[in-house]
Amino acid sequence: QVQLVESGGGLVQAGGSLRLSCAASGRTISDHVMGWFRQAPGKEREFVAVISRSGGIRYYADSVKGRFTISRDDAKNTVYLQMNSLRPEDTAVYYCAADQSGSGYKTRLYDYDSWGQGTQVTVSS
């Protein structure tokens, strides 16, 4: 399995931006579907965004559509999540995940084989 490490989280004011990175090691992610999920305190982990193996398909949760952008750089074995126009309700621990099947694009937690440890994003009002 691939090992994933997220970074880039922090404290930001509402309306601000952050870019999360997910660095992979152990295997190339070029044959993986990659996703971002988040978990707010007291809530279940939820889907945020996914990018297909080729990068040609990107799919977002309705709550972040138009504000967040997922991208991948397979040469760097890294996936990114650009988050703009942040809102207090975006506050959560953000997790990167890899689906080694490499097919389609997945939005369900159990479709993913590898997970990072998460990075905290806090948006103040």
pLDDT at site 8:
98
Block means of pLDDT (10 residues each) for the chain, length 125 residues? Answer: 96 98 96 97 97 94 98 97 98 97 88 97 97
pLDDT at site 102:
78
pLDDT at site 46:
98
Cβ neighbors of 21 (< 8 A, separation 6 or more) are 6, 7, 8, 78, 79, 80
pLDDT at site 90:
98
Tokens of 24: 């992979």
Query: For the segment 33-53, what is each residue's pLDDT rounded down to a tens digit?
Result: 999 999 999 999 999 999 999
Q: How many other CB atoms sit within 10 Å of the CB of residue 67?
A: 15
pLDDT at site 104:
80
Q: How many other CB atoms sit within 10 Å of the CB of residue 44?
A: 8
pLDDT at site 99:
95
